[in-house]
């Protein structure tokens, strides 16, 4: 049982778990299998890694006092390596702190390993909270349209393109937002390049096409523009009008037959509609550039317009703060581990004996050179 316990809290086991989690993340990213992140085995690995880090942190806290005593004992059992004229003054000048059992330098370094483990544990907990508590909303929004987000922020798509200036496929949305505090924000969002607007993170996911219609009651009147991305019945009196069903990206007529497809690339589009008037229904395909008159209402059809498929993600602010804090603590822990290595010193009859948690032979050579200069 003790062997199992020692293995579970060992660094080797922790590194193995992190390697497995990293491999799963790579697979999920490269294959688009986002369901891996919510799978039972991925969650189980996270839980076990959290247990490993917790045990490691507890053990290191319990050993802090013993580590200091062991280092002092190591120095006491070592031979003197330098012999300054005034050992106490030399130790004070080199920032060794006097204790009951000897002298210690960089004593804060004892906490480096503990702080590193705690920071990784906090990082995992905050990341899990962000993943579990984050709110996601798919937001198909046509150019010029505005949507109100959960906190009252007004988000508008100012422009959208599927290609850059060189004709390379690149989905780009230009967004603007009116935040709840009255300020305005905006930016460009592309695939793999989200932007922050207030407390929201906006992602560019995909794009689709919307049917574009103009409606008026007189040919000389101003049109009311309308964009449709789903079936709808358009009518003024609730009885007569047109039923819009869907759009076909490419319609081909061959030998009197019509073949239709939902091609992403718009080549020869057409709209499937049904004209409903005086109790009768007449289905058919309507091409852009056509105007229909139904019960005194004119419906004009225009070429379809591409619009972005956005995803709005809201992350829990508290968990984000903990995540940022964990990165700060990790940096501090690594600094303590590598740049604040504890050293112990004992004054003996023939000089000063030194010992470190790591090999300090180079540091001793530096002290000797300093004394001989």
Q: Which segments of 77-173 does DSSP mark as H helices, in order?
A: 87-93, 112-133
Domain boundary among 316, 351, 367: 316
* Residue 182 CB neighbours (<10 A): 6
State the pLDDT at residue 254.
74
**Same-domain pairing of 123 and 2:** yes
* Overall number of domains in the chain: 3
Q: What is residue 256's predicted lDDT score, i.e. its pLDDT?
A: 67
pLDDT score for 89 = 95
Is the model's pTM score more than 0.75? no
| Residue 326: its H or E element | helix 317-339
Q: Same domain for 170 and 295?
A: no
Which sign does the torsion angle of CA 18, 19, 22, 27 carry?
A: negative
Give the separation between CA 347 and CA 84, rounded to whole angstroms: 10
> Locate tokens 């544990």: which residue?
121
Range of the domain at 203: 135-208+310-316
- What CA–CA distance (Å, rounded) separates 323 from 320? 5
The pair of three-digit structure tokens given for residue 234, joined into one six-digit string: 């358009």
- Report how far residue 211's alpha carbon sits from residue 216's, in angstroms, rounded to the nearest whole number: 17
The confidence score (pLDDT) of residue 332 equals: 96
Domain shared by 243 and 169, yes or no: no
Q: Are residues 57 and 33 in the same domain?
A: yes
Residues 139, 123, single domain; the answer is: no
Answer yes or no: do 124 and 30 share one domain. Answer: yes
Q: CB under 8 Å to 198, separation ≥6 — which residues?
A: 151, 153, 177, 179, 180, 185
Residue at 96 is within a domain:
no
Angle between helices 11-31 and 40-76 (to 10 degrees): 150
CA-CA distance, 164 to 36, in Å (whole number)?
33
Distance CA 213, CA 301 (A): 5
CB 8, CB 51: distance < 8 Å: yes
Q: What is the rounded distance in angstroms from the CA atom of residue 143 to the CA atom of residue 307?
A: 6
pLDDT at residue 32, rounded to an integer: 67
| pLDDT single digits (tens) 150-175 | 889 999 999 999 887 777 778 899 99
**Are residues 128 and 39 part of one domain?**
yes
| 197 and 287, same domain (yes or no) | no
Q: What is the dihedral sign for C-alpha 336, 75, 105, 103?
A: positive
Task: For the chain, list residues with pLDDT below 50.
Answer: none
Sheet holding 184-190, edge to edge: 146-148, 154-163, 169-178, 184-190
Give the model's pLDDT for residue 38. Answer: 77
> How far is 104 from 99, CA to CA, in rounded Å?
7
Dist CA 339 CA 329 (whole Å): 15
234 and 177, same structural domain? no
How high is the pLDDT of residue 264? 58
Selection from 46, 50, 119, 129 nearest residue 327 by Cα: 119
Cβ(343)–Cβ(104) below 8 Å: yes
The answer to the question of residue 124 being in a domain is: yes
Question: What H or E segment, with its residue span, contains residue 5?
Answer: helix 2-8
> What pLDDT, on a 0 to 100 scale, did the predictor assign at position 262?
60
Residue 83 falls inside a structural domain: no
Q: In this structure, are 120 and 18 located in the same domain? A: yes
């Amino acid at each position: 049982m003790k062997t199992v316990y020692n293995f579970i809290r060992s660094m080797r086991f922790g590194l193995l778990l992190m390697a497995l989690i990293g491999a799963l993340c790579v697979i999920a990213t490269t294959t688009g299998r986002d369901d891996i992140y919510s799978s039972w085995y991925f969650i189980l690995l996270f839980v076990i890694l959290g247990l490993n880090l917790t045990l490691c942190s507890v053990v290191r806290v319990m050993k802090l006092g013993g580590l200091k005593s062991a280092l002092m004992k190591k120095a006491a059992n070592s031979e003197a390596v330098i012999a300054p004229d005034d050992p106490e003054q030399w130790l004070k000048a080199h920032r060794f702190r006097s204790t009951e059992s000897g002298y210690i330098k960089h004593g804060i370094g004892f906490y480096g390993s503990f702080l590193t483990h705690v920071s990784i544990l906090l990082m995992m907990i905050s990341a899990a909270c962000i993943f579990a508590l984050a709110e996601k909303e798919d937001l198909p929004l046509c150019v010029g349209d505005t949507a109100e987000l959960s906190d009252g922020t007004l988000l508008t798509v100012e422009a959208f393109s599927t290609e850059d200036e060189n004709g390379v496929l690149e989905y780009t949305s230009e967004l603007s937002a009116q935040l709840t505090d009255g300020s305005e924000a905006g930016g460009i969002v592309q695939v793999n390049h989200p932007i922050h607007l207030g407390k929201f993170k906006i992602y560019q996911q995909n794009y689709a096409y919307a049917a574009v219609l103009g409606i008026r009651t007189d040919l000389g009147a101003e049109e009311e523009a309308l964009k449709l991305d789903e079936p709808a019945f358009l009518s003024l009196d609730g009885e007569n009008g047109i039923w819009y069903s869907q759009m076909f990206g490419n319609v081909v007529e061959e030998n009197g037959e019509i073949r239709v497809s939902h091609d992403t690339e718009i080549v020869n589009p057409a709209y499937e509609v049904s004209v409903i008037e005086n109790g009768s229904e007449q289905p058919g395909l309507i091409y852009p550039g056509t105007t229909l008159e139904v019960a005194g209402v004119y419906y004009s059809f225009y070429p379809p317009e591409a619009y972005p498929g956005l995803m709005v993600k809201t992350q829990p602010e508290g968990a984000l703060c903990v995540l940022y804090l964990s990165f700060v603590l990790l940096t501090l822990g690594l600094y303590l581990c590598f740049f604040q290595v504890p050293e112990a010193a004992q004054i003996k009859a023939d000089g000063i004996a030194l010992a470190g948690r790591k090999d300090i032979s180079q540091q001793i050579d530096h002290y000797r050179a300093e004394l001989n200069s």
